[in-house]
Chains A and B, each alone.
Chain A
Amino acid sequence: MDINLMITSLPKLLDAAVVTIKLLSVSLFFGLFIGLLFAILRLSKNKIINKFAYGYSYVFRGTPLLVQIFIIYFGLGQIEYFRSTFLWVVFKEPYWCAIIAFALNTGAYTSEILRSAFQTIKPGFIEAGKSLGISSKIIFYKIQIPIAIRQSLPAYGNEIILMMKGTSLASTVTLMDLTGVAKYIISTTFKPIEVFIVAGGIYLFMTFIIHNIIKFLEKKYGYSQ
């Protein structure tokens, strides 16, 4: 055990953890909107829209995240036309490519979580709203969405933790996140166990915090099984 290495690598890894947290929070932010959009599309009665939303979540849940990142980072740059559009400003940066891949990926899982949450809302709530003469738009925003959020909190908490682990793949497209820096230190010092303990400890600490935030929110929004 090289305690010295563990102490000297800690600040570097903590700096890298900030990158991980940034990646995670930005992609969760966009992912939540994508998830909500596709959950609503999934509930649509129009068969084509429904199939499209199902196809999206099926493809993104059925393929590894690594493939998705590689298609977006290496693949899209290959299209000549694409390089001439203004979108290229975004897609040439590995940082944004990783975030787009993460957001689309977590969006697919989130849409499934939200869809099942919407479907478990008792029809009585909506009927009660209707009989009170509330417009269907307000029923959706004020009744369905809050209940769906409350229902989906535990599953969404798991998704956040899975996504936190997913951000480690950013290191494959040259980003120096926590895993990227850990790999760099391992490959220069050849001390995998020490680095694993420190980096793994930071990840576990983040998992612990996320877990507790979700627990707090569950209590606050009165989730009960």
Chain B
Amino acid sequence: MELLAFGKTGWGDELFIATLMTVAVSITAMFIGFLFALLFTPLKLSKNKFLNFIGNSYTTVIRGVPELLVIYLFFFGGSGAVMYVASIFGYNEYIEINAFITGSFAIGIISGAYSTEVFRGAIKSIDKGQFEASQVLGLKRFVYFFRVIMPQMLRLAIPNLSNVWQITLKDTSLISVTGLVEIMRQSYIAAGSTRDPLFFYSFAAVLYLLLTFLSMKLINRLEIKYSRGF
């Protein structure tokens, strides 16, 4: 137990901060994923063949390629790409991107592919009459999307989004390879310096279980809230 003490002697405070880091990366990645999903869901639903192709390629490629490979692409290629863009604008200094940003971006793109599929499924299962009714009522596109489609879509999407959240949360363990100090990386450091890998990796597993358990509880509440009246 003294291994987990807070302060200089134990690893308690380090692991606590690392847990917060995991949560922060997961939330950021989930949010970035939503942005990608907002962009790609309309493309996947579009009747234009070219736009449709772009939307489909995004979800197919990301869901067919290992997460670790995507993370390596961003880890090794991220700063190169940013420096290339910066050089167009005449900035030629070396730019190093923060591991947090690379990590949450890589995981965000992966999570976005799953969210896109969820949103697409949810929108497709909304009754066609709802679209027609809002057109008949002359609602503006903006109003009808946010006031009519969105609330119904969320009700259908939340159970599946909770799966996406679980996947995203577990995927963040992979960005430990880039050196970002989250649960996995911190356990690796602690295991290395105390020579007690069994304890620290098991404790990391407990922390992840705790996070998934707590988030399930929270999501269940949301589900109840959004299924009012059903």
A residues in contact (CB < 8 Å) with B: 58-59, 62-68, 70-71, 74-76, 78-79, 161, 164-169, 171-172, 179, 182-183, 186-187, 190, 192-193, 196, 199-200, 203-204, 207-208
Contact = CB atoms under 8 A, between A and B. Distances in A.
Nearest to A59: B209
Given A63-B205, A192-B77, A196-B77, A204 B198 contact: no
8 contacts: A59-B205, A63-B170, A63-B208, A64-B171, A66-B176, A71-B202, A203-B69, A204-B64
A64 B76 contact: no
A207 B64 contact: yes
A168 B69 contact: yes
A179 B64 contact: no
Contacts of A186: 72, 76
Nearest to B196: A78
Contacts of B209: 58-59, 62-63
Contacts of A179: 66, 68-69, 72
B97 to A, nearest CB: 13
Interface of B: 60-61, 63-69, 72-73, 76-77, 80, 166, 170-171, 173-174, 176-177, 184, 187-188, 191, 195-198, 201-202, 204-205, 208-209, 212-213
A183 B72 contact: yes
Contacts of A59: 205, 209
Nearest to A72: B201
Given A78-B195, A193-B77, A204-B61, 14 more contacts: A58-B209, A59-B205, A63-B205, A64-B174, A64-B208, A67-B208, A70-B188, A78-B196, A78-B198, A165-B67, A192-B73, A192-B80, A204-B64, A207-B64
A193 B191 CA distance: 34
Contacts of B64: 161, 165, 200, 203-204, 207-208
A65 B118 CA distance: 23
A71 B198 contact: yes
Nearest to B75: A192
Contacts of A192: 72-73, 76-77, 80
A200 B170 contact: no
Given A179-B68, A203-B66, A67 B73 contact: no
A71 B187 CA distance: 11
